Each structure stands twice: as structure tokens, then as C-alpha cells.
Amino acid sequence: MKTLFGLSKKAFISLSCIAVALIASGIVIGVAVSHNLSNKDGNNSVATDDINKNGADAGSPDKNGSVASADKSDVSSEGNSVTLDDAKKAALADAGLNESDVSFAKTEQDVDDNAQVYDIVFSTADKKYEYEVNASDGSIIERDVRSLTIPQSSISGESSAEQYIGVDKAKEIALKDAKLSSADVKFTKSELDTDSGIKVYDIEFTASDKKYEYEIGAVDGSIIEMDIRMLSFIPNSGTSENSGAEQYIGLESAKETALSDANVTSSDVTFTKTRLDSDDSTPSYDIEFQTKDKKYDYEIDALSGSIVEKDIKTLTTQQTTTPSGDYIGVDKAKQIALNDANVSASDATFTKTSLDSDDRTPKYDIEFRTSDKKYDYEINAANGNIIEKDIETIRTQQTSKPSGNTGNSNYIGLDKAKQIALSDANVSASDATFTKTSLDSDDRTPKYDIEFRTSDKKYDYEINATNGNIIEKDIETIRTQQTSKPSGNTSNSNYIGLDKAKQIALSDANVSASDATFTKTSLDSDDRTPKYDIEFRTSDKKYDYEINANNGNIIEKDIETLKTQQSSKPSGNTGNSDYIGIDKAKQIALSHAGLSESDVRFTKSELDRDDGRYEYEIEFVSGRTEYEYKIDAVSGKILEHDSDYDD
């Protein structure tokens, strides 16, 4: 294998050992290395050999004058034999570029899966490069290269499916770029997708020690993005290659099973997705393909080859909206579904019957179960045609209910749940239009989802299916069409302010400030109507408000009763009383930045949970500089901070 200076691996290791011994004796050896690689094939792909480098001092500024942050929590450069400049040089060498060719966007030390790494991000005129470099030995753990210029022919809508290069050709291009053959790899994903309006093929495969991910232009075959990662650095990498994949039936066999069940041949179809999904306890193949008039979606057990789930959808032509008076009705839709499934009403337990008129084609969503199957139908609301059906075999482990749920006979029923919601909302059935009534028994607590509208409000309820208690409710005022505010009315001076918004929410909830713990107070001005997101908790409830930033009107509110099991905190956090509070967190951030509250405009301040630890995320703007802080919710320690000057 080629190493620095063209030395053999054995000679390089020997020299490295001598250098370490000399350093330990107090003799400092400076090594200046300039090693540029330009190993590119016809697709302008980046060579995949890992580069190890040692050299310049840590903390040196990049070409933009930025210096790596030294304040990352639990990140220390002590014991690292590789500096930030070493990492930058390793990334540049791997990309076959010089520092003068690029603009650095990020150079910082970080921790990934308990290993210290350097994150190096830079761009050229036509590509963006992202590297993760091992801080111990300089090896490249991960690289991601993305084209910044996309051929116009690849944009979705400009090409028909007949012009696409096909999955097999896309796999060929990816293998060629990785310098591997199909015999060397195990494909885990190959499917047609749309990314930011661009039709691409997602191609993923693993070799002995690496995982490769490619985005290939569906029309011209250009490599839009590639990502290569060492498997040893992928957390919980229990993927197929390490978990008995040799027992799997294989993609081709799974495709044949699906085609046979659908009674179509490979020449009749266009495959849009073929991949292995090993994230669940039961690994399966996702197989999707289309004919001229139907779309098929299969889930095939990767071990036995049995069909776990299938979905067949009729591809409809453009349809116009039908007046609601011409709809066939829910009862008729239920009967159509039962007849198609060859199931009698007495054998079926309906879990969802709702009208969905948001799409161009209004439809009824009909879902029911028998003792061994789950059925999901979409019925055209105008003519009763079956738009889509999904039949799933209920696995044994899925049918078991948590202790305390002894079956549907203990549930209060949909009609009772609807009545509870209407009564709480003080709305009569004649004034309400129900848009969703369904049973959700997937969670530990089975519940009914009840949604309905009046002339001016939208209601969303979750009702405990066993005792009829209201778990959660959401009431939203239906806004009339609003016009854009003039540019002069979008400045902060016209907004009511965070403090006023908090007071409005507290008053509406009839909660005093002393009884509330705020977990989020932020301004959201991205929508047409700028608003404040206000979230707080009391001992037994969680409140979520959206307040109009211009006039203080309540746009939406959500009140949720806190369940006992949800209120428990991770070990070490004994309750909200242990938290420093959002105001204290803001002061800590301001003090660190050397700013006062009058100097800044807060854009985000909320309590969040990351890796089992609660922390405050504080973001604000001063002049043209944006500040971001993460602060430990208990100790007040600054876990992470970043500032970005917008030039």
C-alpha cells in the first residue's frame, strides 16, 4: 500500500517509531508535508485511499481567519497526535486540492461515537467537501462530496421515466467510482428518489470495512453526491454484513417473489425501489415497481422470503374535484372494502373511517382488522373505485397488548369518544364536520384520534380508549387568507415582544408565572404571519401556544396532560426544580458573548433533550453576528457555542 514519501508500509512504521522515541527524549522534529493526490476517474470522483498526516500547530486560522473552537464539551486536544492543520491537509490531499483552491466553511474538533475527530468542510466553485478526520492518527473516517452545479436535464419534471438511465446503470457508475466490482459488495439500497426537485438514484452498498452512499443523476448519470464511511466508526453497525446476511434470500430472489405474486414479468415493470431494511427486528426487502396503470409496494421477509406486506395502487389520471353532495358515503365505502377483502362485517373491527378531501381526488380512508390481518383501503369518494389497498399479515409479536389492555371489548368505542370531544369543545354534532375518527392502539395507551371542524375552528382530540379521559387536545383558529405585510411592518419594533407573548399565554391558561416552567420561547418569522412559539409546563400539564407577533392574538394552543411515566427524568435530573431556568440560561450565554439583553434579538430559547441530558438551546442575533449556545439545564455549564458573522 502506498504511504507518505512513497515508503513501504513496514519502513514507514519503523521511521514513525523512531520519531516517537526522539520526541519522548525532548527532541522536536518538524515535519512539513505537502502531498497532493489527484486520483480522479472520468466522473470527477474523489480517490478513496485514506491519508495520514502530522504537522502544524493546533489553533492556526484557516484562509478565512476562523479558528477551531476549543470550548466543545468534553473535547480536548490532549493526547492527540494530529493537529487541526494536519486534518485540513489530509482532507485537501484526499480531494486532490490546494488550500488556495478552496474556501473553508468549518474546521473544528468534535466527538463522534466517543472518538475525537476533526470536522473539515470546504468548497470549490462546483463542489462541497465534508470530511471527518480521526484526531488520533489522521485517518479519514468519513468523506462526503456533493456537486454544487446540477445539470438542468436532471431537474424533476423535465424528463420522462423512459429517459432515466435505470437502477442497474446507476449501480454500475457507483461501483466504477468506488473502484469495486459487484462481487466485492453487498447492495443495501438502490432506488429512484427526488432530492430538492432533482431525480436521482440512491445507491448504497457495503464492502469489507466501508459503507458507500451515492446519489446518481437519473438522467445523465452524473455523481451528485457520494459518502464513504469506515464501518468501525458507525454506531451500532449491526447491518446485514455483520448479522448473518449470508442467510438472506437476496434482492433478486425478493424481486422475483414480488413479481410472481403480482402476476407480472420484469419486462412489464419499472423498478423504483429495491433495498434491504435491517433496522427492524425482522429484516426485510422493500420492493417497489410500476406498470402502466398500477404501483406495487412489497415488503418481503429477508430470511424466509414470505410476503410481510403488499400495497397495490391504481394510478389515476387527472381528476377534478367533486361536490361533497355527490359522495358515496362512509357506509358504502366500508361495504366496498369488506367485499373486496372477502370479509364479513361481523369479523372486522374498524379502526379508521374518515373522509380525506384535501387531495385533488377526495377519498375515504377505511381501516379494519381481522384476527390475523390488517386492511387499509382508499376508496374514491365520488365513484367508489378502490384507489389503493394495503393488506398486512399481523405478526405474532405485534398482536400482544401491554398488561391492562384486555382487548377491544374494554374500549369505549368511537361514538362515545366523539361525544366526549364535542362535549368538551361545547360544540353540537350538527355544527361539526368530522375529518378523522380512528383508534390508535400502537402505543402503550390505546387512544382515539378525533378531529373535526366548525366554521372558524379546527379541533384535534386524543381520547383514552379505555376510560374516556382526554389525553390531549388542540384547538386552532382557522385563519382567513392573509396578505403579506409591507416591508416596513416586519421589523422587530412592531412585534409585541417575548415577554408580552408569555403573559398572554399564561393568562389564557390561567397559570401564574411562578407555577410555570418555560421550555421554549422563540420568534418564528418564516411564515406569512410572524408568531411567537411559547411552551411551558406545570406539575401536571404541558402547554404549547402560538401567539401572533403583531397583535398578540392566540393562533393556536395545545394543552396536554402529562402522564406519570412521561414525567420521570433521566437519572441525575430529579425534576424541573433542578433546572436553572430559561432566563438564567440566556444570561449565561449573554455574559459569555460579552453582550447585554438590549444588544441582542433572541430567535430561539428552549429546553431540549440530547443523549439523555437536558439542555437549553439559546440563539440570538447582534448586528450581523448570529450566536448559538447549548447550556446544561442543571449545572449551567456551556456545552457548546458558535458565532457566525454574516458578510
pLDDT score at 47: 38
**In the prediction, which pLDDT does 517 show?**
84
User: Checking DSSP bridges between strand 373-380 and strand 386-393, what pairing results, if any?
Assistant: antiparallel
Q: What is residue 595's DSSP assignment?
A: -
What is the b/e burial string over 486-499, where b = at least 16 CB atoms within 10 angstroms of the residue's CB?
A: eeeeeeeeebbebe
Residue with cell 414525567: 567
Give the pLDDT confidence score for residue 115 in this predicted structure: 77
The H or E element that residue 622 is part of is: strand 613-622
For 146, 206, 228, 235, 282, the CA distances from 245, given in Å and listed in that order, are 31, 12, 21, 19, 12
Which residues lie below 8 Å from residue 22, measured CB to CB, with a gap of 6+? 29
Cα–Cα distance measured from residue 601 to residue 617, given in angstroms and rounded to the nearest whole number: 15
SS3 call for 369: strand
Other Cβ atoms closer than 10 A to 612: 10
pLDDT of residue 503: 93
Instruction: Judge residue 342's burial from the number of C-beta atoms within 10 Å of its C-beta, 0-12 exposed, 13-18 middle, 19 or more buried.
Output: exposed
Spacing of C-alpha 327 from chain mean position: 37
Q: What is the pLDDT of residue 278?
A: 67
Q: Is 519 helix (H, G, I), strand (E, B) or coil?
A: strand
Q: How far apart are CA 393 and CA 375, in angstroms?
A: 9
Q: Is 153 exposed, middle or buried (0-12, 13-18, 19+ CB in 10 A)?
A: middle
How is residue 66 written as a grid cell? Answer: 476562523
Q: What does 373-438 look like in DSSP terms, one character per residue?
A: EEEEEEEETTT--EEEEEEEEPPHHHHPPPTT---GGGS--HHHHHHHHHHHHT--GGG-EEEEEE
Residue 206, pLDDT score? 86
Q: Is the Cβ–Cβ distance between 508 and 486 less than 8 Å? A: no
Q: What is the pLDDT of residue 358?
A: 64
536 Cβ partners below 8 Å, 6+ apart? Answer: 502, 505, 506, 511, 516, 517, 518, 519, 542, 543
Using a 10 angstrom Cβ sphere, with 0-12 exposed, 13-18 middle and 19 or more buried, the burial of residue 552 is middle
Element (H, E) at 601: strand 601-610
Regions of the chain short of the pLDDT cut 70: 1-80, 113-114, 149-162, 196-197, 231-246, 278-281, 316-325, 358-360, 395-409, 442-443, 479-493, 563-577, 647
- 131-186 pLDDT, tens digit per residue, is 988 888 888 888 888 777 655 544 444 445 557 888 889 999 999 988 899 888 88
Say what the pTM is.
Answer: 0.28
Cα→Cα distances 475→203, 223, 313, 320, Å: 43, 47, 34, 31
Torsional class of 184: left (φ above 0), alpha (ψ -120 to 50), beta (otherwise): alpha
Query: How far lies 550's CA from each of 366, 524, 553, 554, in Å?
Result: 42, 12, 8, 11
Beta strand extents in 97-164 (DSSP E only): 103-112, 115-123, 127-134, 140-147
Reduce the DSSP state of residue 14 to 3 states and report it: helix
The CA-atom distances, in angstroms, between 199 and each of 32, 132, 158, 217, 226 are 45, 28, 10, 6, 16
Phi, psi dihedral angles at 191 (to 5 degrees):
-155, 155
Phi, psi angles (nearest 5°) of residue 535 = -130, 135
DSSP string covering 229-256? EEGGGSTT---GGGTTGGGS--HHHHHH
Sequence-distant (≥ 6) Cβ neighbours of residue 369 within 8 angstroms: 348, 349, 351, 375, 394
Residue 224, pLDDT score:
87
- For residue 101, the surrounding DSSP H or E stretch is none
> What are the beta bridge partners of residue 593?
none
Distance CA 386, CA 76 (A): 61
